[in-house]
Structure 1
Amino acid sequence: MQDVSKEWLEFLRNQFPVGSRIQTWELDDPRNTLEEAGKLDHIDDEGRFHVRQSDGGERILALGEEMFSVHPPEPTLLKLYMPLTASFYGRNEWGDWDEIGEEWDGKTLLDYEDRILGAMVKNRTPEEAERGLMHWCDKDSLDAKVRSAEFTVEARNGQLWGVAECQVIGQLSPEELAGLKDFLTGQASDGWGEGLEQQAIRVDGGEFYVHLWQIDGWSIQTEAERFGQMQGEAKDMKHGTTMTMGGMSLG
């Protein structure tokens, strides 16, 4: 039995989630003809790849013994919803700003969806171009599975919601989903959301400031948790980096 370190196993399992597509070829094949082997079912404690074939059978591939490539599954779209509010400040009859703002809820904000989305796009930084909010995430457990995350808005059930759109590889465990929610909560309250709150959106009679987070009655939930139904159709994204195994060349 081959001894495999815990760190190496964690790397393999994080890098290659269940459902990854496996292709094989023979070392003495001059054309390096790839053959579809199936989809990854799991990686055992010896670091061997258990592949579920299309006919229902199983094939076991070992590093250094077989030549095979692993292609991560297509990312799926995970939406996390949060209440959206704003503080509106108008001008009084003398043209001065009111000192006490008026609180707007998601129903009122429906009329300003385009302006709010424009402010969100303006708030994004060049560093976020590739992975969005995940550029600022220091949670290693999420880095391999959550390829990108961005805040946006969506009209649903008669009101406007704040939404974190996340491109996810494979399936998040309950612990990973909780960690993602915790990270995005921090971005909504103190990080990215704080920058958004400082942007005045001018409208007739005054201006308002959008809040992705607030103290009372706030939560961040999946579509099923928030609306009691399953996620909509998954949206595809380009394949991630292909890594060649067996020959031990990781690209």
Structure 2
Amino acid sequence: LQMKFYSPLTAEFFPNEPDWEDESYNEYEGCPLDGHDLLQYADAVDEAVKKDIADFNGDLMQYYREDDSVRHKVVSAVPSVEIRGNKLCGCLNVELRESLNEGEQAVLCDYISGQYSDGWGEGFEQRDIRVEDGTLAVHFWQEDGFKVTPSFEKTQEQVQMTQRPKMKLLGEDGNIFAIMSRASRLLKNAGQSDKAKEMCNRVMSCDSYHKALNVISEYVETELTPKTRNKPNRGDAR
């Protein structure tokens, strides 16, 4: 089971060739950017986040010290960025053993707010992100967006739950590429494009039809999928 929390991103941009007549530019604070402005730098920001979290496996829950229901339900919480509508947003990818209730979501959001402001996020915003026309300093924490509990309430409508889509194998003609294509479409329609790409790459490296079917059944629920529904895939845990 996976849950995603989306939050606003902002940044300061320091151009290689400043426009000194631009009133929004400050020599020491750069030009302020919001999530819409950051769309053009989405790949660079995404790469910077992935590189940064690789140093500690990316899981912010390893610093969570409470022995409570949140600790027992949450397998991992990994920050990333995603494009939502016309903005680049912060995205916390949470792997769960079972669903969180509203109170547990609030506790988790409050903890992540602290990580974004004084923990991981504080270090990340001090790392210069080089882009073609300058340098970025990107902020996951926003003063107005994270003051209250739950910390992500301003983007509450963007919280989504994603589970494996269901797909029947019965009656398929044995064409693994047709089966893979169908599963990929289901994943993309469920908002899991990254999973679709990962699945296709793994299928293409399989040396047998049966192995390929088993890989597909890890990403979409088929007759071959184990019925341990609430247990996370071993490869998804961090």
Superposition deviation, residue 113 in structure 1? 1.3
Is the partner of 1:189 in helix, strand or coil?
helix
Larger Rg over CA atoms: 1
The residue type paired with residue 66 of structure 2 is: K
Matches within 5 A, 1:19-98: 76-90=1-15, 91-92=17-18, 98=27
**Residues 79 and 222 in structure 1, CA contact (< 8 A), matched pair in contact too:** no
| Corresponding residue for residue 39 of structure 1 | none
Among all aligned residue pairs of Structure 1 and Structure 2, give the percentage whose two residues are the same amino acid: 37
Superposition deviation, residue 186 in structure 1? 0.6
The residue type paired with residue 215 of structure 1 is: E
C-alpha deviations, 1:15-48, integer Å up to 9, x for none? xxxxxxxxxxxxxxxxxxxxxxxxxxxxxxxxxx
RMSD of aligned Cα (Å)? 2.6
Matches within 5 A, 1:83-232: 83-90=8-15, 91-92=17-18, 98-124=27-53, 126-128=55-57, 132-141=59-68, 142-218=70-146, 219-221=151-153, 225-227=156-158, 231-232=160-161
Structure 1-normalised TM-score? 0.56
The residue type paired with residue 207 of structure 1 is: T
Go from structure 1 to structure 2 and tell me whether the alpha carbon gap of 1:221 and 1:168 turns closer, same or farther (over 3 Å shift): farther
**Residues 126 and 137 in structure 2, CA contact (< 8 A), matched pair in contact too:** yes
Task: Give the Cα–Cα distance (whole angstroms) in 1 for the partners of residues 103 and 133 of structure 2.
Answer: 46
Task: Give the Cα–Cα distance (whole angstroms) in 1 for the partners of residues 145 and 105 of structure 2.
Answer: 20
**Residues 78 and 222 in structure 1, CA contact (< 8 A), matched pair in contact too:** no
Unaligned runs of 5+ in 1: 1-75, 241-251
Is the partner of 1:147 in helix, strand or coil?
strand
Tell me whether 117-126 or 161-170 shows the greater mean CA deviation.
117-126
Question: Which has more helix, going by share of residues?
Answer: 2
Go from structure 1 to structure 2 and tell me whether the alpha carbon gap of 1:153 and 1:123 turns closer, same or farther (over 3 Å shift): same
Unaligned runs of 5+ in 2: 21-25, 165-218, 220-231
Is the partner of 2:38 in helix, strand or coil?
helix
| Corresponding residue for residue 171 of structure 2 | none
**Residues 81 and 91 in structure 2, CA contact (< 8 A), matched pair in contact too:** yes
Is the partner of 2:100 in helix, strand or coil?
coil
Go from structure 1 to structure 2 and tell me whether the alpha carbon gap of 1:180 and 1:93 turns closer, same or farther (over 3 Å shift): closer
When the two structures are aligned, how many residues end up with a matched partner? Answer: 158
Superposition deviation, residue 150 in structure 1? 0.5
Structure 2-normalised TM-score? 0.59
| Corresponding residue for residue 233 of structure 2 | 238
Go from structure 1 to structure 2 and tell me whether the alpha carbon gap of 1:163 and 1:93 turns closer, same or farther (over 3 Å shift): closer
Superposition deviation, residue 232 in structure 1? 4.9
Superposition deviation, residue 159 in structure 1? 0.6
